[in-house]
Structure formats: C-alpha cells, structure tokens
Amino acid sequence: MTKPVSICVIGSGYVGLVAAVCFAEMGHSVVCVDNDESRVKTLREGGVPIYEANLPELLKKHRGHGVEFTTELGSAVERSDAIFIAVGTPQGDTGAADLSFVEAVVSEIARAITSYKVIVEKSTVPVYTNEWIRRVMQRYGIDHALFDVVSNPEFLREGTAIVDFLHPDRIVVGAGSERAARLMESIYEPITGGSYYTRTDALLGACSSETPAKLLLTSAQSAEIIKHASNAFLALKISFINAVANLAESVDADVEDIAAGIGLDSRIGHKFLHAGLGYGGSCFPKDVAAFHWVAQQQGLNFELLQEVQRINDAQKDVFFNKVRSALWTLRGKKLAALGLAFKRDTDDIRESPALSVIKRLIEAGASVTAYDPAAMDRAKEVLPPSKQMKYADSAIEAAEDVDAVLILTDWKEFATLDLAELNRAVRFPIVIDGRNLYKPLYMAEQGFTYVSIGRPAVYNAQQGKPRRLIA
C-alpha cells in the first residue's frame, strides 16, 4: 500500500459517515467533522446514528484509531491533505439543488487553509459546482496554487453502502490537475491496486486482488454529470417498468415474466426492473429534479425526465386505487401497513412511497397499524401515533383483525411471512402487495385474495378459479 493519506470528511450524514469509516478501513487517517454537537457526541461514545449494514462493526473497529469525530473544522482542515465535502444538498422549490451548505463549508475551508489541499466534492451537486467552489476560494483571497477542486461522486445504495464503497463498480474522479489526480489515486490505491482484498479482515464483495476496483479519470464537469445521469437513468428504468406493469395488468399479462424477459438481454440487465410503488429516498427524486433543472439552465428541454417524475408520482395513485377497489370504501377500514422505509435494509423514510400511501389512506378515513423492522422511530416523527395511526412490534401484530394487509416495503422478512399465521390474524384474508413479493396463484392457494402490481389479481382458492378484480 502507498503511504496513508490524512483525510478530512466534512459531514457525518449518510455519505460522510460511510466515506469516513471506509477510508479508515483502507488504512488512511480520517477526521470527520460535523457542526451537530449531539451527533458528534453520539459518534464519539459509540453510537451509530443511521441503520446501515456493516457500519456498526467498522465504527467500532476504527473509532479513535483510524477515524475521529470533531466539531472543529479549522484544525481538521489544517492537518489534512484531502478535504471531502459530504454535506446535504436538498432540493429547492425550483428543483435545483440547494448548495448553501456547500458554500458555507467552502467559506470555512478558505478561512482555515494555510497549505496545499485537494478539496473534493463528495456531495451530489450540479455541473459547474467545482468552478463555483474555486471562485469562492478565490474571493477569500486564497492563491490558486494552494488548492485544487476535484469531483468524486458517490454511487452508494442504502443498505449495501459499505460494500458498495469498498467494492465499487467504478470510482469516478474529475480532476483538473495532475497533482490532484495523483493524490486521489493514492487515496483509492488500496482497492484499485488490490492490496485491501488480500487482507484477512477485508469485507467480501465483487472485487478482489485479481479484479480490483476501477478508477475513471475525467474532467470535473463530466464527473458531476455522470452522477446525475446515472441516477436519472436508474430512475428511468423504474418508471419504465412501472408503466409496462400498468399495460401488462390491463391485458392480463404478468410484469414479472416481462421483466425477466427484458432483463435477460445483456444490453439491459435485470436490475431496477422491479415493478412496485416507485422510487423514493434521498437521491432519485432530488437528482432527477436537479438534473432537469441543470438542463433547463442550459436552454435544453429534457422532457424525458419530467415524464420519469410523472410516472413515479402516478404509481402511488395506482396503488391507492387498488386498495380502494379491493375494499370498496375506505372509511372505517382497518389496515396493516408492512413497511415504512423507502426500501429494505434502511431506516430512511425520505420521499418514502409507503408514507405517502399511508397519509392518503388516513385522509380517506381508514385507520392504519404499521410495522417496519428499522424505520418506525423515524416514521413516528412524521406520522405520530394517533387514533388512526398505530405501530406494532411485528408484522403479525400489525395484521390483527384488519380488513387488508398492505405490503409497502420489500423487506425480506415480509417475503417469508408465516402465511397460515397471517391468515388466522386478519379479519379478511386480503393482501395488497406493492412490492410483488409473492406469486399470485400461491397466495390464492394459501387462502388469500391477492392484489399486486402489473399482474392479475386473484381470489383465494376456496372461491374457485382465480379471477380478475376490478381495478
């Protein structure tokens, strides 16, 4: 391995915290800065503020050794060679990313810098943010020879972020100088050179010493667009298969078969071809909107991105109408909602389709009892317990005496429920599955009326031949 690099990561949110522990895992010396004193205190004392596989173990392994946490940005900048900016870039009213947090951090860096630093955009930002960072530094009178600005976008999936970081499909570095590019190459050398994968304590994943991670060197502008374009394209695949699902259901076809047939084409692949409630989370909705805004600023009409958003928004309406069609009226109905996070293996409820559906069901007069393996505490902040909104300690408890069970998040736990126990718990054996976790005919055989996405709905086997429900 090359000489360890002193790294400062600004922001201990999802991206910053994952980056900090993974850089420490690679062998670098990391200081993670956040202005939230309570969060820093939690991290110093051994707490883990987000739900993410492998994160608790790596924090325990490197806390106080490879990575430390502080609120003092100036001293952290002073003793670091590379400064990774990993603060939030929330969506503004116009769809543009709000870069005020990035600007504030850059201003603090400018006040602290005394020697050459590489300033790295790790947050998801629109094209030309690197140039604005450069301008802010120069406005503070910082000599251009004292810094370089690099774009190094993250491609992390919540739930598998640690493995994604250490076993990436690609590492994109947008650098405008040879000096900055060399430093970034040395930071990632443990995984691009393969030495990390020879360690006995290395986390297992797709990469190895024989097939190490790949680093793509581009301009900063290209790197910034790669991030937005990647997320927009994945969102497009999700909206596309949901549009296909609605067509498939209207002609009694099965979208799962269709997706399998499409995905076998090596040019397309099977990933992100899962019909359901649509995408959510902190990335796709924000990045699609921001990418569209960037195109508009350049005088381009990227209408395709508007359609991606429209289909995604409409998918929640599709599911709501399925619930209403299956139950006739919603006022007074008691429903179990299985899942609150926007996807499995995370406690993130930002832009969660599940919460949108639940809010609308409550507005229509239904009462909901919800269960999620990880996201209930966060959900209670948005949907506090009330007469119409309750929380349970298990999926079966949530289903007690309900008129229908709604599957809203694709947790593996929900795909392996004891269906006999579930059938005994409910008032009426109706399952409305927004994630297509079960086979329709199997559910009918288990005594359920089963409604899913892009597939004909079925009645239970005791009612004779499965037949289509009115949707």
Residues identified as active-site: 283
Q: In what order do the strands lie in the sheet with 404-407?
A: 389-391, 367-371, 334-338, 404-407, 430-433, 449-451
- 């949530």: which residue's tokens? 398
How many Cβ atoms from other residues are within 10 Å of residue 339's Cβ? Answer: 30
Secondary structure of 102-171 as H, E, C letters: HHHHHHHHHHHCCCCEEEEECCCCCCCHHHHHHHHHHHCCCCHHHEEEEECCCCCCCCCHHHHHHCCCCE
Q: CB–CB of 383/363 below 8 Å?
A: no
**Structure tokens, 371:** 């269960």
Strand partners, 430: 449
How many Cβ atoms from other residues are within 10 Å of residue 133's Cβ? Answer: 27
Helix (H, G, I), strand (E, B) or coil at 294: helix
Pairing of strands 147-151, 117-121: parallel
Within 13 Å of residue 194, how many CA atoms lie on the same side as its CB? Answer: 6
With a CB cutoff of 8 Å and minimum separation 6, the contacts of 67 are 20, 21, 23, 24, 30, 31, 32, 59
CA 198, CA 204: separation in Å to the nearest integer? 10
Residue 9 Cα to chain centre, angstroms: 20
**Structure tokens, 363:** 């507005």
C-alpha R_g of the chain? 24
Q: CB–CB of 391/370 below 8 Å?
A: yes
**What secondary structure letter does DSSP report for 451?**
E
